[in-house]
Amino acid sequence: MSLTFGTAKAVDLVVFSDDANPIKVQVKTLRTSNCYLLKVTDVDPDIVYVFVLLHRIGEQVEFFVVSGRTLIEKETQIWGKSGGKVTMAGITMGGIKPYKNNWQAFRQRA
């Protein structure tokens, strides 16, 4: 794994494995259940997105992992009926709840 230190726009981490090409990862974090500000037009289909919900100190951190390709293909299910193209598009917890601990998204990029 490697950090990008701001040198790669929209990529926070690069993950390396023995059997695949490097995987680009973008991390979005919230401290409380709200919405992750992200437009579908800003989503890269070749990036894995990890949405992190920190909660309060002492509470379990939650991870929602989804490929960019899935975010694009399931726009209305994830962003809602208005979609992810509006000016202040945001993904609510309901939209990404099915992707909780979906770590296999790292293997399903194709």
Token representation of residue 78: 């994830």
Confidence of residue 109 (pLDDT cuts 50, 70, 90): low
59 by Cβ neighbours in 10 Å (0-12 / 13-18 / 19+) ranks as exposed
Phi, psi of 104 (to 5 degrees): -65, -10
Output the DSSP codes for 48-93: EEEEEE--STTSPPEEEEEEHHHHHHTHHHHH-TT-S-STT-EEEH
48-88 pLDDT per residue, tens: 999 999 988 888 999 999 999 999 999 999 998 878 888 77
pTM of the model: 0.85
The predicted pLDDT at position 55 comes to 84
10-53 pLDDT per residue, tens: 788 888 877 768 889 999 999 888 889 999 999 999 999 999 99
Q: What residue segments make up the domains of the chain, in order of their start?
A: 26-106
